[in-house]
Structures are given as structure tokens and as C-alpha cells.
Amino acid sequence: SDLSRLARHDALTGLYTRRVLDDVLVQEIKRSTRTKRGFGVAIADLDDFKRVNDKYSHDTGDKALVELSKVLRSCIRSTDTVGRWGGEEFLLILPETSCAGAKKVLERIRIAVEEINIFHEGTKVLLSITIGLSYRHGSYDRESMIDEADKALYAGKRAGKNRVVCYQEETAGCSQ
């Protein structure tokens, strides 16, 4: 029904909602714990989104989020999951991958976002994205992975935005 679709998909972007992402995360963590394969969780945040809304308009801001969601969908692998985490934040779930593999997908997204063409009264709206990644092997819980992805995201923001940062590389070194 339309109602259950609405509960599962964000109205603006058509991406999964936070509730669905939580379910997928639980499933993927179980699977990864079983298979012992590497697993990534990333939080992507549109840089200076408040400025886009204030300088241009909320319609332009919405358009940016819609275009971003198209980029996210087209850049991920069929086994990956993406959804709207809240506001201008998006969550990516990247199962069965190496740290380098996860970063390659995220870097592809970062570059594609710079190439989004949105215009406001003839002016190109420049967009960029910062992405924080938590990459783990074996057992872990969703709270700590989301927390690590969030910390990596903020490290990327502090370092100047428009970049992909892996929490494990920043702290202890990323195990391939």
C-alpha cells in the first residue's frame, strides 16, 4: 500500500527512511558476523547545506537533496543500501567489501556530487559532500559503528570538507 511505502521511503528523495536503515543494519551486522567479511557504514553530509537554503531557496535545497539521492543510488553497488538518515545526512551500508573497496565507492560519490548541475537564476549551485566511514571485521554493534562514522564525518568537516574519512585509518590504521 501507499502507506507502507511512505513508512519505508523518504517522501522527498524516495530513499529508505531511518527505520528501514536500522533494520538493514541489524541484518547486515548479523550476516557479517557470520561470514567474517568486512563491512562498512558511512554517513554522508551535504556541505554547507544551510547556506544553500539561505542563499538560494528551500526549493533549491530540496532539488539538491533529490539530485544527491540520484547520485547516491547510481554510485553504489547492488548489494549496498542507502537511505536518508535525517536532514541533509544520508547513511550508506556497504557489506562484503574491503576498506579500500568501500572508500572507492565513497570517493566515486564525492566526485559525482561536485558534478551535479543545479542552477538558481542562472547561477550554478556548487555542491560538495563530506563522508565519514566506519569499517570493521568480525563482531561490532550498530551504535559504535554509527558513532565512528559520525566522528569520521566531523573530522572531515574540520579538515576542510569535501572529503572521505575512515575512522579506523584516523585512529588505528585500516585493516584491509
Rounded distance between C-alpha atoms, residue 72 and residue 53, angstroms: 20
Q: Give per-residue pLDDT as tens, 71-95.
A: 999 999 999 999 999 999 999 999 9
Catalytic residue among 88, 121, 143, 170: 88
First to last CA, the chain: 43
* Alpha-helical runs (H) found in the chain: 2-8, 18-35, 49-55, 58-75, 99-114, 142-158, 167-171
Q: Give per-residue pLDDT as tens, 38-49.
A: 899 999 999 999
Q: What's the mean per-residue pLDDT of the chain?
A: 92
- Is 88 part of the annotated catalytic residue set? yes
